[in-house]
Amino acid sequence: MHGRAVSYEALPAVPPALAALGWAPQLASALEALGDGELLPMRVQAADRGSYELLGADGPMTAALAGRVRHDAGPGELPVVGDWVAVEPSPPTIRHVLERRTVLRRAAPTGALQVLAANVDVVFVVSSLNRDLDARRLEQFVAVAADGGAQPVVVLTKSDLLADPSAMLAQVRPVTRGVPLVIVSAQRGEGLEELAPWLTPGSTAALLGASGVGKSTLVNALLGEERQTTAPIKRTSDQGRHTTVRRELIVLPSGALLVDAPGLRLPELWAPEQGLAAAFADLDALAEDCRFSDCAHRSEPGCAVRAAIDAGELDPGRLAGFLELEEQTAGRTQRPWA
C-alpha cells in the first residue's frame, strides 16, 4: 500500500547567533509576517523606565518603545525580560512584541495581571534549606511557576547549613510530588550538576522565590564568577538578605539563559488551571476516584481526597493549601494570557 507523501512548509533557518538566544523558526515566521524586512529580531535583557536593553545577532542595543505599542498594549502585554521584539534599527525602537510561548505571571498586589518574564522553559523555584523553609509557601511558588506553561523545578539551597536535612526534606516531599527536586550548596558548589539537564544551550530558565533564599549566590555559582551582589545570613532569623534589584536575562557559560529577579513575597496565582494541576498532581490523581466529577473536596459524599486524609495517606495541609490557592483565583476576571 502506497501512502501519499505529506509535504511540510519549510521553516526559515535559524542563525546560530540568534539560536543561542533562544530564537526559533516559528518566531522567524512571525517576524516575516510583519512584512517589514528592516525590522531586527532582538530579545529583551532588561527593562528600566521605558528604556529596554536588548540582545541580538549583532550584539546588545538599547531601544525605546514605540508610542503605538505602548498605547495599544493590554494588561500584561508590554515587553518584559525574555520577550522577543521586532526593532527598527534607526533610531532603535521596539515596533512589535512577538507572540510568547510561555509566561511567568502573577496577580499583583493591586489585583492586576503582572508578567514577570516571557518565553521561559523552566522555572527554578528556590527556597533555602534552613529555618525559613515553608512547605505551604513552596506550594504557592510551584503553582505560580507552572501557571504560564513553564516546567517548575524545586531547588533547595544552603544544604551546607544542615548536617542532616532529612527532617526538612520530609516537610517538602509531599509538596514536590511530580515536580523535580534538586538540593544544592552554591557556596560549596555541590549539586549544581543536577541542574544541567535544564540549562542546555539556547534554553531559558528563571529563578523564582522569596528574598534572601540564595538566588544571587546560585547565579554566581552557575556563572563561575561573583557577578551578583550577595549578603550574609542574619544570625537572629537564619534568613538571607535581599540583594537583586531588577530582572535581568543572563547568559551562562553553558549557553543557557537565566532570568534573575528580585525576591517576591507570597505571589498570587493569576489563573489556576495549569498551576494547580502541576503543584497538586497528587490531589488530582486522588480526585479521579471521587464520586462526583465536580467534587470540591469540602463536604461532598464519596470524596476520595478526604478519604485519603482520614486514612492518614494525605497530609490535610495539602488540601488546605489547594483550597486556599483556588479561592485566590475564584471570580478573577480573565485577561490575555489567562
Is residue 227 within 8 Å of 219, Cβ to Cβ? yes
Cβ contacts of 200 within 8 Å, gap of 6 or more: 254, 255, 256
Distance CA 333, CA 115 (A): 16
What's the first-to-final CA gap in the chain, in angstroms? 47
Which residue has cell 495517606? 313
C-alpha cell recorded at residue 95: 515596533
| One-character DSSP codes across 97-120 | EPPPS-EEEEE-TTS-EEEEEES-
Instruction: Cite the DSSP H helix spans in the chain.
Output: 16-19, 25-33, 67-72, 135-147, 166-172, 215-223, 272-279, 281-287, 304-310, 316-329
Burial class (CB in 10 A: 0-12, 13-18, 19+), 307: middle
CA nearest neighbour of 60 among 261, 250, 221: 250
Distance CA 147, CA 269 (A): 7
Predicted pLDDT at 72:
94
> Which residue ranges of the chain lie beneath pLDDT 70?
1-13, 131, 226-245, 266, 272-274, 329-338
Predicted pLDDT at 101:
94
Q: Which amino acid is at 287?
A: A
Predicted pLDDT at 228:
52
Query: CA 124 → CA 34, 51, 92, distances in Å?
Result: 34, 27, 33
Distance CA 55, CA 41 (A): 9
Predicted pLDDT at 18:
94
Domains and CATH numbers, the chain: 16-97 (2.40.50.140), 103-260 (3.40.50.300), 274-329 (1.10.40.50)
Predicted pLDDT at 330:
67
At 327 the three-state DSSP class reads: helix
| One-character DSSP codes across 183-217 | E-BTTTTBSGGGGGGG--TT-EEEEE--TTSSHHH
The structure's pTM equals 0.82
Predicted pLDDT at 6:
37
